[in-house]
A and B are shown apart, each in its own frame.
Chain A
Amino acid sequence: MSRTSESRAETTKLSRLLGVEDPQELSFLLPVPAPELRDYREAVTDLLYDDDRELLKRTADAARLLPVRTLAAIGERALGPLVCARLTGLLDPRRAAEISEHFTVDFLARLAAELDPRRAVEVVSAITTDTVVSVSAAMAANGEHIAMGRFVAYLDEAALSLCIEALCDEDLLRVAFVMEGEERFTSVFEMIGAERAERMLAAANVNGLLEEAEHVTGRLQAAS
């Protein structure tokens, strides 16, 4: 696993967080070691989540006055995925999960792409497995592999296994490239199985994902 590909994975994640459409704009970050980029990204995540926290907290409190169905309509039609993602961790987890049942899969996928799952662990675990699988497919279709990589650590094994089954090899490789946590990384590849992993890595050249495949192979070798 090369230091450059680790830094590229981090740069890709940071570009997503900052809303920079073309990660090439951040190519000046590639010489920076990945751990420094990770620290910066986490600090920016905290900055974005903690900004206007008081107003968000009051908004979450006000949400208790409204029925779940109305809240879902407001979330999807007015607040949008970014604000809903910031609110998710401030709502009662059971209520947040109930609201999510009234969102469309497409909206949930866009919300999840903005969500820091560390701040909504209980909500993520309260979502039904069927919904998790549908949302993961929608996120993959939207090209949100970076966000998907953040969720892997917070899904139970049953949901994760069904998501792996539902995703194509190319999507799996893109998620594996940015996936965090070595222990989870290894267990995901145990679920994928040697045969599919080999096929996925072998096809990487055709899909233009050679760097991703080399990075993933390096991590697998380092873990074994």
Chain B
Amino acid sequence: MPSPTDHLPPPPPPPPPSLDRERDAELTALTEQALRRQRRQLAEAIDMAFDHIPRPLRGAVHRALGV
């Protein structure tokens, strides 16, 4: 099944120009963390969703998802 982590994450946007250079990395790290958290949630959610899909429809849903 294609997972949200199969491709490299896009780069975070450039930090605000007036932000102290020393703080750039801190803000970028928080943004990357939010992105990783979201990817993890998406992967877990899709896995869990299959438990709730009626069995006769699982195959069709798998195919629609490209798995």
Interface residues of A (CB under 8 A from B): 17-20, 26, 28-29, 31-33, 36-37, 39-40, 43-44, 47-48, 50-52, 55-56, 58-59, 61-62, 64-66, 70, 73-74, 77-80, 82-83, 86
Interface bin, chain B = 35 or more
Q: How far is the CA of A48 from the CA of B38 in the complex (A)?
A: 8
Q: Considering the complex, give the chain B residue whose CB is closest to the CB of A17.
A: B34
Query: How many residue pairs between the two chains, A and B, have CB atoms under 8 Å in the bound complex?
Result: 113
Question: What A residues does B53 contact at CB under 8 A?
Answer: 66, 70, 74
B57 to chain A, nearest CB (A): 6
Q: How far is the CB of B58 from chain A (nearest CB, A)?
A: 10
Which residue numbers of B lie inside 8 Å of A, CB to CB? 2, 4, 9-10, 12-13, 15-20, 23, 26-27, 30-31, 33-35, 37-39, 41-42, 45-46, 48-49, 51-54, 57, 60-61, 64-66
A47-B13, A48-B38 as given contacts; A74 in contact with B49, CB under 8 Å: yes
Q: How far is the CA of A19 from the CA of B15 in the complex (A)?
A: 17
User: Which residues of B sit under 8 angstroms from A83, Cβ to Cβ?
Assistant: 41-42, 45-46
6 closest cross-chain pairs (CB), A and B: A43-B13, A62-B64, A36-B16, A78-B48, A78-B49, A83-B45
**A60 CB to nearest B CB, Å:** 10
Q: Which residue of B lies closest to A36 (CB)?
A: B16
Residues of A contacting B13 in the complex (Cβ-Cβ under 8 angstroms): 40, 43-44, 47
Other A-B pairs, 14, CB within 8 Å; known A52-B42, A58-B66: A18-B34, A19-B37, A32-B16, A32-B19, A44-B13, A55-B46, A55-B65, A58-B65, A62-B65, A66-B61, A78-B51, A78-B52, A82-B38, A86-B42
Contact A55-B41, Cβ < 8 Å, known A17-B34, A18-B31, A74-B53: no
Cβ contact within 8 Å between B42 and A65: no
Q: Check B61 against A80 for contact (C-beta < 8 Å).
A: no
